[in-house]
Structure formats: C-alpha cells, structure tokens
Chain A
Amino acid sequence: MRYHGKILMLGWEYPPHLTGGLGTACHGLVNALKAYVPITLVLPTFSEQFVEERLKIVGLSAQEAGYLERNKPVHTDVKTVVVDAELDFDPYPVGIAFEVQVAEQRVGAAAKPLFNTKEPYGPRILEKVYRFRDMAVEAAQQEDFDIIHAHDWITVPAAIRLKELTGKPLVLHVHSLETDRIGEQHDFSQNAVYELERKGMEAADLVIPVSEYTKKCAIKNYGIDAGKLMPVYNAINPAETFRIEKPGDEKLVVFLGRITYQKGPEFMIESATKLLTKYKKVKFAVAGTGDKLDLLKAMVAQRGLKDRFVFTGFLPTPAVRQLLAQADVYFMPSVSEPFGLSALEAAQFEVPVIVSTQSGVSEVLPNTLQADFWDTDRFANFLFALLNYEGLRRDLVANTNKDLRHLTWDDSARDVLEVYSMVAG
C-alpha cells in the first residue's frame, strides 16, 4: 500500500532562487509528491508566487519572531514563474571554526536580513545553516508530520535536531557531495561541509542519493552502509522546445555549468583542441561562470583558439533555451556529477549529449556518448563523429526521446514514497 503520512521537508534552494540542480530537483519532486502526501516545505526564503495547492511553504525570510501567522497555507492554482538568481561561483567557502560562533546565537530579528537575499549561499553560509536550524526547528514544532525529508548538507543540522527532538524518522536526500564539488583527493578531516554530510547520512534512517553513482561515492568516500542508500533519479517535466537554425555551416558545441573543478572545463578545452586539429567548422559556447573562468580563457588564448570559443558568462533560463535550440552537441565532461539535470534539458531540446561516465545522468540516458572525464581522445572522437555523421545524431536523439518518456517526476515521487514506507516501518 502506498504511503500516506505527512511529510516535513527541509529545503534550501527553490524557485525563484536557483543556482544549480538542487532547487530545480526539489521543486520537481515536491510538485509530484504533493499529489500523494501532504507536505510542509520549510525554506530559507519564500516567494508568494510559489504558493501552491496541497503544499504549505514556510519561508523563513518572511519571519520576524513568531513566524507562522503569515504563512497559513494559501490555496491558489499552481503557478510557476522561474526567475534566476545570479550564480554563486563557489557556494561553499567554509571554514571549520564557524559553527562555534553562530551556534549559540538566538533566533530572531537577525534572521530576516540573513535570508532575505537572492544569494542562497555566500560567505556567511554556515551562519545561515545554523540560523536555519534554529528557526526551522521552531517552525517545525508547530507542524504535524510523520517523516522528516531533508535535502543536502545545508539542512542537515536542522534535520538532525528535529529527529532528536521528535523521534521521527529522517530521510536525507543527497543531490551532491563535497567530494564531488572539490574532488575526492582532498583531505576532508578539516572540512565542515563534508562532516555535516557524513553526520547527516549516518543519522538518517535512509538516504536517497540521486544516482547509483552518488550511492557509490557515499559508500567509498563517506563509509556509509550500502543498505541504507536508496537511489532515486531526478527527472524532467515535459516542455515545449524549439530549434533555431543557424546561418552558415558552422556547428555549435555547448558547455553549460559552473566553471569549476567539478565540471571538468579543462577536459572540454583539451577535447576541443584535439578535435580542431582535424575539424574546424565548429564553435564552442561556454555558458556559465566560476573560479576557473580566467584560467580557461587563458588556456584558449594560449592555444590560439580564441576565434573558436564564445564565453557567454552566466545565462538566465530563457537564454539557455535559446542556446540549446542552436546546439549541435551538448558536452558535459564533469569530473564528478551526482546527476546532471542540465543534460536532461539538452536532451529535451533534441541535442545529442556527450557525458562523462562519472555522472548520474549517464545511468538514465544510455543513448548518449560516454567516456571517462579524462579521456579527451575519446571525447574528441565523439565530437568529430557527431559533427560529421548524421546517422549518429538521429539515432541518439530518437532513442533518447524514448528514454525521456520514462523520466517523469511522478516516477521519482513514487520511488520516494517507497522509501517513506520503508522508514515508517
């Protein structure tokens, strides 16, 4: 029988404040889940336009001292308007000593300026995380719920305290890990984020990684018991897509995402360099920004490839869609990608996808071209083939279209309900 209890969900990013996949995934999942179970979603910020049927959102930025009065559930038709926040380059510049400073402060008026910003992370991130803990715990105690469902490390302190206070089971949803973001070769003994992730997964009754790949990372890098890791894939809502025909015969390869270690931008440049020795009628659009952007531009200049690259900087959603509508290849050579929702978006635009095998999305899109992130020879070979051999594009797209039909948020929600049933006993 399907699970029917009440869910208290602890989120962080949520439309309109999106910097990566977390907010999109949380929104997609919640909107499918609410058809089956009542959900109260506690968020740092709250936007009136995302008030929806059967979903109660408690946005802490709106709170002064006694919060709940202004957030009785409001029933309207579902309406979603996504406004993009500026990307945060490096969302996790966290020092280890931060916890002590903020943990003892009282909840109250100081919360509003802290959360009432378009910037969900930033340098005061740990302060926010512990403020969120105190406020969310207080808010949650006014709520009736059976299961705590928390998303990523930023909600872990709140989730653990709530579990301790209420004894309710905890499900931790893992959208990405510190070992993905900065590389598993680092020393994590002094890393506060890593420590929160580890504590969270250990405290949780069950953990939902967004892929088998992330499950393996949790086992390998965090020592988490395989038996409590229940992967549930992300999905994508059906959407109208379109094509924009480009003038001329120059092809377009798109790289989209934060320009950081995790996304493997150097491997993109390396692959492009190899391709361009043989095939020149192609440009690379690099959309996004991050701490490696300058390095990347320098690499391109040094190799004399400036005329083959376009750096667009951060692009808001409508511009991303414009870009995908012109793309001939979507290229995501991530070093470690827990899922990779943007590849699903590209696939929806019928753009053939090249991804690293170190990605969750490679598990649900088998009809993509896959290689290890460092294997730039293979990537270059894929690029050459996609730009030259029409049959490849057609079969990849036709078969991926079929795969996308099986990747709905409703499917994901039903997988999550099974996890709820398991923790509810």
Chain B
Amino acid sequence: MGTVCLYFQVHQPYRLKDYSFFRIGADHNYGATQQNYAILQRVADLCYLPANELMLKLIDRYEGRFKVTYSVSGTALEQMAQYCPEVLESFRALAATGCVEFLNETQYHSLAYLFSREEFLRQVEAHRQQVQTLLGYRTTSFRNTELIYDNSLPTALAGLGFKAVLAEGVDRYLLNNLTPNHVQRSAEGDMAVLLRNYRLSDDIAFRFTDQSWSAWPLKADTYAGWLKALLTQEGVETANIFLDYETFGEHRKRESGIFDFMEALPKYVLGNGQGFATPTELAATLADTSTTYDVPHPTSWADAERDLGAWTADHMQKDALNRIYALEERVRASKDDNVLEVWGRLQTSDHFYYMSTKYWRDPVHQSFSPYKNPYDAYINYMNVLTDFEMVLG
C-alpha cells in the first residue's frame, strides 16, 4: 500500500531594517523588529493558527491515521516564541499527538552546507536542541535549506542518527526509471532519500488558484484520485507532497478554498485505501532493493532549474556570501554568543534570495522580497555587514 507523505516548510527570516550607510559604526541593531513582528502576526492569523487548528482537528478525527510533517526553521521558531507564543503552543500540541514529525534543518535556514561544514553542523545541532526545547520533540530526519542536496549531504550528517533526508526529485538526476515515488538510497552515507514529487506538490502550491489550469477548481476527491492512480501502480511506495506551509492562507487565500481542500483530502485518501506516513517511517522501508539517487552537483527545490541560481548566480550574491563566510574565524575567536547569533542570522538564505537579479521579475521571487529590487537588498545587506565587520574588529 502506498502512502502519502505530507511535509510543510515553515520559515520566517529575521529581515533587516532599512540600514543606510550613515548608521555604519553607530548602530549595531540590524533587525526590522516592527516589520518582522507585523509579518509574523499576519501570517499567524492567515496561516499558522488556522492551519494548525485544522491539522489538529484532522489528526483527532482520523485517530492516528492522518499524519503530517513539518520543518520549522530556527528563526521562525524563535520569532514565534518572541512575538506570537500561541503559534508555538499549537505546534507543541501537534507534536504531542504522536502523528506529527518535525524535521531537523539549519538553525538559520542558511546555506552553510555549501560554505562551511563546521558551521553547518553547529547550526544542525542548534536547531535540534531548539526543536527539543521549544516543541519537546527529538528530530530523526533532516531537510536542508530549500531542499539543497547532493551526494555528500548524508555523509556530512553522519553520526547524527538521521534516518531520512529530504530532497527535490530533479528530472536530470531521475534517469533509468528512477522516480520520486520510491524511497531512494543515498549514493553516499547510506541514508533514505525522499524525493519531492513536484507535479503533485505544485498542483497545490501553485496551480491551485490558476484559473487557466484545466483542473481548476481542484477538488480534494479529484486530487485523491490522482494520488490513488499513482500509489496503486506496481512498486510505488510514496507520494511526497512537500510545500511551503504558507501556501495555506498566505500564498493561496482562504477564499480560494485551500483550507476546505485540505480538510477534505484525508477522507478521500483514506477512503481510497491509501495512508499517510512521515519521513522517518518511510525510511524504515528502505530495502536492499532500493534504487540509488546519485546527485553529484547540488540541487534545490527552487525555480525551473532546481539549482542554486536563486542564491548564488549574481556577483552581488557571491560577493555577499563570500564576505559573510570569510568572517567565520573571527566570529569564533570572539567567543561571544551574541556575535555568533548575529552572524548566524546574517546567513539566512532569504537575504541572498532578495539579491537575485536573474529572477527579479519572477512573481514568486517578488512576493517574498521586502525590497523594491535586488540592488536595494544587496546595498542594505552590505551596509549591515560592513558594520558587523567593524564590530568584530
């Protein structure tokens, strides 16, 4: 029997305030506190609170047969604790049901994996502890920022006890009849790799409100029918539906019917004879016969290219990334937790995403950025970084 693996990404960065060069050397507070607070409140009202309530209701209704997975970034968890404790409370309630898996990621939703393994591991550990502290949950599976993955990721995570790692099902690496609908074995490190089924995921994340789409308006019974058609195929193990949690109520408004869709979905999936599973449960099905997913170059779940272009293609992005990671030794030498925290927050991938000129006109990119254009994003970041470098001495 095939299962559906529903995983939702929850993330909020610490956005930077409007930091003019006048402030350099004089102002060492970089956060856009008001803006971060307001955005978290808005998204909590539109998405986190009602969606969590819905998931709790579904878990209750189906008595353990409905399961769901989250990855909540460290910067999101911290802002919830700071600005909106009732959201944290509802995630704790979800954790307590036993039907929810929380994934480990990097504390700052960073690109550290690409630039410093030492810093990467520090952030993985910090996030594990934070999820334990704030949600009372011990993580057993991992997803890297923006599903960035290559063969050496499982190796980098060796010794941390992770059963599964999540990744994008990238067409150019799905050769020889490989599909995202099998639990794959990593090419290195002997870990289960769960691959996002981007077609089924994007049906909800993007096409759900597309009125020119032939399946619009998408109903839960139709979608469950597609899942059934897939999961009843010979040898298919899982349908991995990975999306941003903010799809519910924020990216797709309540009026679109997205909550009704989600509420009705388990009824049809379970009615069709399929079930739900979490990544760690799926990892247990890894068998000697499992196929190997071989990804020599890093992939992500972003853009059509599924590469790192959204964060690293431009000169500005490379420049900013090189400068922030060049500080590693000085930051560690400071032995100052506050300095380490500031440095970590400046590593959040969103800062570099905002600087992308390649995707400037892309509506998905635009909807995330608090800046008018990528140049403003870069200038603001570099002003902050210049001050931070001075603080480091």
Which A residues are closer than 8 A to B by beta carbons? 274, 277-279, 366-367, 369, 377, 380-382, 384-385, 388-392, 394-396, 398-399
Contact = CB atoms under 8 A, between A and B. Distances in A.
Interface string B344-380: 0000000000000100000000000000011100110
A367 B357 CA distance: 9
A274 B23 CA distance: 12
B375 A395 contact: yes
B20 A382 contact: no
Given A391-B314, A395-B357, A385 B21 contact: yes
B314 A377 contact: no
A392 B20 contact: no
20 contacts: A274-B22, A277-B22, A279-B21, A366-B373, A367-B375, A369-B375, A377-B22, A381-B383, A384-B21, A384-B383, A389-B319, A390-B315, A391-B320, A391-B378, A392-B316, A392-B375, A392-B378, A395-B314, A395-B375, A398-B315
A281 to B, nearest CB: 14
Given A278-B21, A391-B318, A398-B315, A381 B379 contact: yes
Contacts of B52: none
Contacts of A380: 20-22
Contact of A395 (B21, B316, B386): B316
A395 B315 contact: yes
A396 to B, nearest CB: 7
User: Which of A388, A390, A391 gathers the greatest number of chain B CB atoms within 10 Å?
Assistant: A391
A385 B382 contact: yes
Contact of B378 (A274, A277, A366, A389): A389
A277 B22 CA distance: 9
Contacts of B236: none
Q: What is the size category of the interface that chain B forms with chain A?
A: 20 to 34
A391 B379 CA distance: 10
A391 B352 CA distance: 13
B24 interface: yes
B229 to A, nearest CB: 44
A381 B386 CA distance: 13
A272 B374 CA distance: 24
A399 B378 CA distance: 15
B194 to A, nearest CB: 36
A385 B357 contact: no
B379 A382 contact: yes
Nearest to A391: B319
B120 to A, nearest CB: 24
A90 B382 CA distance: 42
Contacts of A398: 315
Nearest to A390: B319
Given A385-B21, A399-B357, 8 more contacts: A369-B375, A381-B22, A384-B383, A389-B379, A391-B315, A391-B320, A392-B316, A398-B315
B360 to A, nearest CB: 8
A384 B382 CA distance: 11
A278 B25 CA distance: 10
B21 A392 contact: no
A380 B379 CA distance: 12
A391 B316 contact: yes
A381 B20 contact: yes
A371 to B, nearest CB: 10
A156 to B, nearest CB: 39
Contacts of B374: 395
A399 B313 CA distance: 13
Contacts of B378: 385, 389, 391-392, 395
B315 A385 contact: no
B316 A381 contact: no
Contacts of B318: 391
Contact of A388 (B22, B315, B316, B386): B386
User: 7 tightest CB-CB pairs across the interface, nearest first?
Assistant: A391-B319, A391-B316, A394-B315, A384-B21, A385-B379, A391-B315, A389-B382
Contacts of A390: 315, 319
B382 A388 contact: yes
Given A385-B382, A388-B382, A377 B20 contact: yes
A244 B382 CA distance: 28
A392 B22 contact: no
Nearest to B361: A366
A389 B382 CA distance: 7
A316 to B, nearest CB: 33
Given A390-B319, A391-B315, A392-B379, A381 B357 contact: no
A192 B373 CA distance: 42
A380 B23 CA distance: 13
Interface in B1-45: 20-22, 24
